[in-house]
């Protein structure tokens, strides 16, 4: 008997029964899969996780009372360590996925202190929330698939936006801003700052004094020319003996708006910062003893220090005077500032569109506040590997904040540079590789936001950034004469 005959011998009914069973099982799989897939989200609707209650004191604010609960119910699970995990957290795959969301979420953005602690939302946090609303990225899709009541409805979006504008208006609006713009992420600079004029004049003299360097060839102004946007307009700084430094010179204009000083934030403030260049062997290559030895007999300094400081001329008082001078290096009255102060015609339509794009694509999530930056550390290459694309060796200066903290999570993080007067502070980036502003804009969009801008968008944004050139002592920065 061959195989064909054997098969024919089998009873008809038995074959169809087993086929039927198999078919049933095959049919059951999708049904079970659908039920299984529904089980977790449905259980999430029924057994709502208990999330910590918002403090009554914060809810007393009527605007926050509408926005706070949105964050409490739709954001907190991944943006605070303090929330209860769902029952399926004990399942192996779910546990890994949820833990990763929470670890990444909290690292990117921690809501705990602002919602529950004594702290309040910072300008940076508000701008970051605004960015996720514009980008529609939060809560992440995978979470929304499991938590059907977590997607942001139209009212949620509206309540969060109204609250952001309200907090900005109450806490971050510049005194000279037009009421319409009080809730903007960018604010005008003040027209004047209070200062002790004698101290400022002394600091100005010191800032321009070449005797602060070992061979009397280089003043602070040599690398931070007030006629060059407060920089040297070169890729890297050149110190005494023509020594080339490893990093681009940032501007001293508006540097008092930086939350820390230097690209990697290693100086807490301008007073601390002023110690750096004098002692840096490839910058001024000197030390305070040597500097004081050289300038102490200068009659101007003798008189000024004696008058202003009980201690006379010391390392500390020199640094204090330089700091006082730097605090006056603000550049108000740019066309964009005039616009924010209510002069609607101060900028062109193109510049207005450029600003709108700057906000909606998310540049303001890092470049915000009166100086458009300086308030935060951020990774160069947050959403794309800038250093691989650059194609040259990654050097010590490229490590940024990591050099100070030696923490892996700080690698390639830099203090976000301020964008005021960007027209004259070229070339751009810590490595000075972007010659053209349009180039810097395109690269930022790609590596920080994962967005490809159209040519028209880049052009409009460039026009907007050119509207940020302000005035120092009433003179536009493009017209300042070199110091004599």
CA distance 157 to 130: 10
Choose, by CB under 6 A, the member of 124, 226, 291, 366 that binds ligand HEC: 366
In the set 235, 328, 351, 378, which binds ligand HEC (CB under 6 A)? 378
Q: Minimal distance in Å, beta carbon 429 to ligand HEC?
A: 4
Read off the tokens for 434.
Answer: 């972007």
Contact between 424 and ligand HEC per CB under 6 A: no
**Region near ligand HEC per CB under 6 A, out of 17-25, 75-83, 191-199, 286-294:** 75-83
Pairwise CA distance, residues 447 & 378, whole Å? 12
Q: Per CB under 6 A, does 270 bind ligand HEC?
A: yes
Q: Is 283 in the site for ligand HEC (CB under 6 A)?
A: yes
Q: Least distance (Å) from ligand HEC to the CB of residue 19? A: 44
367 in the Ramachandran plot: left (φ > 0), alpha (ψ -120 to 50) or beta? Answer: beta
Question: Quick one: residue 358, left, alpha or beta (phi over 0 = left, psi -120 to 50 = alpha)?
Answer: alpha
Residue from 313, 461, 466, 468 touching ligand HEC (CB under 6 A): that is 461
Q: Which residues of 368-402 are buried (b: 16+ CB within 10 A; e: fewer)?
A: bbbbbbbbbbbbbbbeeebbeebeeeeeebbbbbb
441 near ligand HEC, rule: CB under 6 A = yes
Of 174-182, 190-198, 256-264, 471-479, the window that binds ligand HEC (rule: CB under 6 A) is: 256-264
Q: Does 457 bind ligand HEC (CB under 6 A)?
A: no
Query: Smallest distance from the beta carbon of 43 to ligand HEC, in angstroms?
Result: 17
Using alpha carbons, select from 177, 181, 132 the residue that is nearest to residue 156: 132
The count of other CB atoms within 10 Å of the CB of residue 234 is: 16
Nearer to ligand HEC, 74 or 338 (CB): 74
Determine the Cα–Cα distance for residues 466 and 478; give it in Å rounded to an integer.
Answer: 11
CA pair distance 50, 113, nearest whole angstrom: 18
Sole binder of ligand HEC in the list 185, 188, 362, 369 (CB under 6 A): 362
What minimum distance in Å lies between the beta carbon of 25 and ligand HEC? Answer: 35
Q: Which is nearer to ligand HEC, 308 or 416 (CB)?
A: 416
Residue 157 or 178 with smaller CB distance to ligand HEC? 157
Q: How many CA atoms lie within 13 A of 291 on its CB side?
A: 27
Burial of 219 (0-12, 13-18, 19+ CB in 10 A): buried
Give the span between the Cα atoms of 130 and 133, in whole angstroms.
5
The site that binds ligand HEC (CB under 6 A) totals a number of residues, namely: 72
The reply to whether 79 sits near ligand HEC by the rule CB under 6 A is yes
Q: Contact with ligand HEC (CB under 6 A): which of 68, 86, 245, 369?
A: 245
Candidates 44, 40, 64, 197; CA nearest to 121 is 64
Based on the shown chain and the rule CB under 6 A, indicate whether residue 263 belongs to the binding site for ligand HEC: yes
Q: Which is nearer to ligand HEC, 237 or 304 (CB)?
A: 237
Q: Is residue 370 close enough to count as binding ligand HEC by CB under 6 A?
A: no
Q: Which conformational region is residue 377 in: left (phi greater than 0), alpha (psi within -120 to 50 degrees), or beta?
A: beta
To 5 degrees, how large is the angle CA 253–CA 345–CA 439? 50
CA 76, CA 115: separation in Å to the nearest integer?
9
Taking the complex as a whole, the smallest distance from the CB of residue 419 to ligand HEC amounts, in Å, to 6
The interface region with ligand HEC, picked from 53-61, 115-123, 133-141, 171-179 by CB under 6 A, is 133-141
- Asked whether position 380 contacts ligand HEC by CB under 6 A, the answer is yes
Q: Is the peptide bond before 457 cis (omega within 30 degrees of 0)?
A: no
Q: Which of residues 174-203 bind ligand HEC (CB under 6 A)?
A: none
CB of 175 to ligand HEC, least distance (A): 25
Q: Considering only residues 10 through 69, tell me which ones interact with ligand HEC, judged by CB under 6 A.
A: none
Structural tokens at position 252: 């001293």
Stretch touching ligand HEC by CB under 6 A, among 32-40, 57-65, 293-301, 364-372: 364-372
User: Does residue 422 bind ligand HEC (CB under 6 A)?
Assistant: yes
- What's the min distance (Å) between Cβ of 428 and ligand HEC? 4
Q: With binding defined as CB under 6 A, does residue 291 bind ligand HEC? A: no
Distance CA 236, CA 248 (A): 5
Using rule CB under 6 A, residue 340 touches ligand HEC: no
CB of 343 vs ligand HEC, minimal distance in Å: 24
Residue 118 CA, chain-centre distance (Å), reads: 23
**Interaction mask 204-233, ligand HEC, x per CB under 6 A:** ---x----x-----x-x-xxx---------
CA 78-80-86 angle, to 5 degrees, is 55
C-alpha–C-alpha distance, residues 145 and 147, integer Å: 6
Q: How many CB atoms are located within 10 Å of the residue 56 CB?
A: 7
Task: Find the shortest distance in angstroms from Cβ 103 to ligand HEC.
Answer: 8
81 in contact with ligand HEC (CB under 6 A): no
Minimal distance, residue 191 CB to ligand HEC, in Å = 22
């Amino acid at each position: 008997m061959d195989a064909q005959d054997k098969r024919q011998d089998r009873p008809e009914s038995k074959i169809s029964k087993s086929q039927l069973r198999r078919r049933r099982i095959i049919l059951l799989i999708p049904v079970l899969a659908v039920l299984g897939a529904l089980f977790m989200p449905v259980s999430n609707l029924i057994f709502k996780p208990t999330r910590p209650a918002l403090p009554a004191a914060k809810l007393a604010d009527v605007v926050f009372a509408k926005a706070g609960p949105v964050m409490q119910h739709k954001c907190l699970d991944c943006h605070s360590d303090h929330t209860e995990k769902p029952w399926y957290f004990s399942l192996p795959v779910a546990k890994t996925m949820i833990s990763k969301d929470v670890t990444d979420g909290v690292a990117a953005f921690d809501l705990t202190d602002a919602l529950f602690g004594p702290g309040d939302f910072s300008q940076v946090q508000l701008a970051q929330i605004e960015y996720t609303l514009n980008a529609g990225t939060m809560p992440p899709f995978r979470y929304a698939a499991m938590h059907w009541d977590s997607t942001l409805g139209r009212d949620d979006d509206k309540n969060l936006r109204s609250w952001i504008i309200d907090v900005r208006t109450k806490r971050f609006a510049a005194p000279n801003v037009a009421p319409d713009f009080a809730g903007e992420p960018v604010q005008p600079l003040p027209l004047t700052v209070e200062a002790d004029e004698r101290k400022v004049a002394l600091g100005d003299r010191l800032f321009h004094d070449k005797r602060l360097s070992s061979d009397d060839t280089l003043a602070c102004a040599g690398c931070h020319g007030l006629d060059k946007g407060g920089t040297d307009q070169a890729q890297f700084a050149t110190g005494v003996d023509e020594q080339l430094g490893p990093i681009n010179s940032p501007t001293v204009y508006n540097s008092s708006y930086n939350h820390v000083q230097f690209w990697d934030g290693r100086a807490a403030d301008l007073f601390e910062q002023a110690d750096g260049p004098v002692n840096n062997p490839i910058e001024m290559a000197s030390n305070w003893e040597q500097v004081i030895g050289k300038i102490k007999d200068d009659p101007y300094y003798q008189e000024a220090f004696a008058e202003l400081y009980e201690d006379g001329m010391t390392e500390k008082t020199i640094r204090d005077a330089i700091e006082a001078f730097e605090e006056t290096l603000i550049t108000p009255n740019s066309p964009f500032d005039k616009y924010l102060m209510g002069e609607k015609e101060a900028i062109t339509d193109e510049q207005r569109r450029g600003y709108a794009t700057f906000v909606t694509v998310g540049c303001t999530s890092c470049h915000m506040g009166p100086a458009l930056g300086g308030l935060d550390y951020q990774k160069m290459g947050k959403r794309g590997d800038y250093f691989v694309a650059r194609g040259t060796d990654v050097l010590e200066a490229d490590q940024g904040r990591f050099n100070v903290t030696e923490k892996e999570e700080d690698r390639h993080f830099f203090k976000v540079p301020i964008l005021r007067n960007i027209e004259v502070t070229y070339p751009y980036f810590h490595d000075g590789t972007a010659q053209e502003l349009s180039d810097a804009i395109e690269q930022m969009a790609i590596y920080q936001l994962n967005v490809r801008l159209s040519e028209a968008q880049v052009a409009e944004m460039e026009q907007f950034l050119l509207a940020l050139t302000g005035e120092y002592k009433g003179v536009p920065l493009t017209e300042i004469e070199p110091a004599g």
